[in-house]
Amino acid sequence: MAFRSVATIAAVNLLCGLVWAQAPRVVTLDEAFTRTLEKHPALARYGYLHDAALALVDADSQHPPLRVDLELENAPRSGQASSFDSAEATLSLASVFERGGKLAARRAVAAANLDALTLRQEQERADLLAEVARRYLDVLTAQSLADLATLDVAQRETAVRVANQRVRAGATPDSVRLAAEAALTRAGIQRDRNRIQIEASMRSLAILWGHRELDFDRVTGDPLGLPSVPSLDDLRSLLERNPELRQFADATRVREARVQLARSARTTDIDWRAGVRRLEEDGSWAAVVGVSVPLGSASRAAPGIRAAQAELAALSLEREAQVLTLESTLVDAHLRLTGASAEVVALRDLLLPKLDLAERAAERAFRAGALSYIEWSQVQTEVMAARREQLLTAIEARRALIEIQRLTGNPFIAENTRTQP
């Protein structure tokens, strides 16, 4: 029996069974994305990190604090009736007068760190969505392999029925029937193995949104839908959208702000103090004003400036190295995508039509006694092997596409696809 005839019968039987069964609970890729973004703790923590970064901005935007100083001199003193007869008490208000733009430099560093946090969140979001897409594809692969195994079982059942007919007619020895039943058993074992893999991959997907128990039975999607392959030059032009590279712009702003902060340390701050002093000997009050200026600020600031400038200069080389790494990954993914897509087309248009014709011819020949069961079984095995190869190659193309979309910052759903017939 032809593969498509077997597939039609299997589909009809499946639809009839669904009349009495509960409709399967289905989850789409968009729903998997939404659930993960809403529930995964890796993204939820950024709300607290953002609050912490805002608090640091507020802290670094504050001026130096005012201080209240109380100083008592000449107490106790020997040779007097009271130890405090000649004591002098000074009450003053003191602070630091910052110079060189230190306040603005601190605020700039804190603000740059806050901006960088947003890009880190975007990068983690992109990585998480890529992981969702991979695990979703794992479920879709397991489902498709199980469907192929079910069709293989249907083909083997047909072979068993034909073999029984020929055994009863005395045209075939009983060993042919036993061999057909053994092949049917092997196909059933493979189908059960694939069904177990479906549950395992679904649990791996559901754990991303925190579900230990499954609330869906299947995922949707056409694994044989071929994504359109953009040119490598077009993809290179999109590479700048990668969050990993965009983070270097924020990192540059952070390090430039640190250089400015280090330079501001060259300008000497002035400690000032103003207050009043009470002289106990005559009960009078006197004004007190003080200024303190540290020396050598420029020399002490020089090492910090050199370190900040060196870190800034190294950042450009870090970016160049990251560009090379990302571009290498992009080229590899593009080659895998184009190669796998071309192989799927070749299997679909060249190999599988010939194998389908060969399978139908082999079945007719076996029924007529012109072909042995072993030869027919080998053709059936070739057909299923080619279809599995087509499926797994298409899945490889999809995995390469996910990596390309992660690198270029494009959506994870290909809008322009060609569906397999």
Lowest mean pLDDT among 168-182, 242-256, 405-419: 405-419
Which whole-number Å values give the CA distances from 250 to 52, 273, 421, in the listed order? 18, 40, 48
Q: Which of 388, 396, 421 is nearest to 147 (CA)?
A: 388
**Which residues are CB-neighbours of 377 under 8 A, at least 6 positions away?**
159, 179, 180, 183
Average pLDDT over residues 8-19: 44
Residue 219 pLDDT grade (very low, low, confident, very high; cuts 50, 70, 90): very high
DSSP secondary structure letter of residue 1: -
Angle at 209 between CA 206 and CA 212, to 5 degrees: 50
- Write down the mean pLDDT value for the chain: 81
User: Residue 388's pLDDT is what?
Assistant: 94
CA distance 335 to 152: 32
* CATH assignment, 3-8+23-418: 1.20.1600.10
Using alpha carbons, select from 331, 323, 324, 314 the residue that is nearest to residue 244. 323
Residue 274 pLDDT level (bands cut at 50, 70, 90): confident
Q: Is the pLDDT of residue 17 over 50?
A: no
Whole-angstrom distance, CA of residue 377 vs CA of residue 362: 9
Residue position matching structure tokens 């000497």: 268
Residue 412 confidence class, pLDDT cut points 50, 70, 90? very low
Residue 419 is predicted with a pLDDT of: 36
Residue 41: pLDDT band (50, 70, 90) is confident
| pLDDT-above-90 percentage for the chain | 29
- The model's pLDDT over 358-388, given as tens digits with 9 standing for 90+, comes to 999 998 998 888 888 889 889 999 999 999 9
Beta strands in 170-317 (DSSP E): 218-219, 226-227, 270-279, 284-292
CA dist., res. 192 & res. 184, Å (int)? 12
10 Å Cβ neighbour count for 24?
A: 9
Residue partners of 366: CB distance under 8 A and separation at least 6: 162, 372, 373, 375, 376
Residue 67 reports pLDDT greater than 70: yes
Top pLDDT among 123 and 365 is at 365
In this prediction, residue 19 carries a pLDDT of 41
* 79 alpha carbon, distance to own chain's centre: 81
Burial of 156 (0-12, 13-18, 19+ CB in 10 A): buried
Query: For 90-102, what is each residue's pLDDT tens digit?
Result: 778 877 877 777 7
DSSP symbols for 327-383: HHHHHHHHHHHHHHHHHHHHIIIIIHHHHHHHHHHHHHHHHTTSS-HHHHHHHHHHH
Higher pLDDT, 161 or 311: 161
Task: Work out the average pLDDT over 275-298.
Answer: 77
292: confidence class by pLDDT, cuts 50, 70, 90: confident
With helix as H, strand as E and coil as C, how does 107-135 read?
HHHHHHHHHHHHHHHHHHHHHHHHHHHHH
Two tokens at 101? 């733009």
Which residues are within 8 A (CB) of 23 and not within 5 positions of it... i.e. 6 or more apart?
none
What's the pLDDT at 11?
46
Read out DSSP for 61-112? TPPPPPEEEEEEES-S-TTSSSTTTT-EEEEEEEEEE--SSHHHHHHHHHHH
Give the rounded distance of the alpha carbon of 402 from its chain centre.
Answer: 10
Q: How many residues does the chain have?
A: 421
| Neighbouring residues of 345: CB distance < 8 A, sequence distance ≥ 6 | 226
| 108-137 mean pLDDT | 85
pLDDT at 111: 80
Q: Which amino acid is at 156?
A: R
Range with top average pLDDT, 122-131, 199-208, 406-415: 199-208
Q: d(Cα 318, Cα 153) in Å, to the nearest integer?
A: 56
- The dihedrals phi and psi of 267, each to the nearest 5 degrees, come to -85, 125
d(CA 71, CA 179): 105
Q: Determine the Cα–Cα distance for residues 159 and 170; give it in Å rounded to an integer.
A: 16
pLDDT of residue 242: 77
Q: Span 381-404, mean pLDDT?
A: 92
Top pLDDT among 57 and 283 is at 57
pLDDT band at 74 (very low <50, low <70, confident <90, very high): low
3 state SS of 418: strand
The answer to which of 111-115, 192-196, 359-363 has the lowest mean pLDDT is 111-115
pLDDT at 2 over 50: no
Q: Is the Cα dihedral 10, 12, 14, 20 positive or negative?
A: negative
Band of the pLDDT at 413, cuts 50, 70, 90?
very low
Tokens linked to 312: 């800034």
Show the tokens assigned to 350: 């060249």
Structure tokens at 13: 């039987």
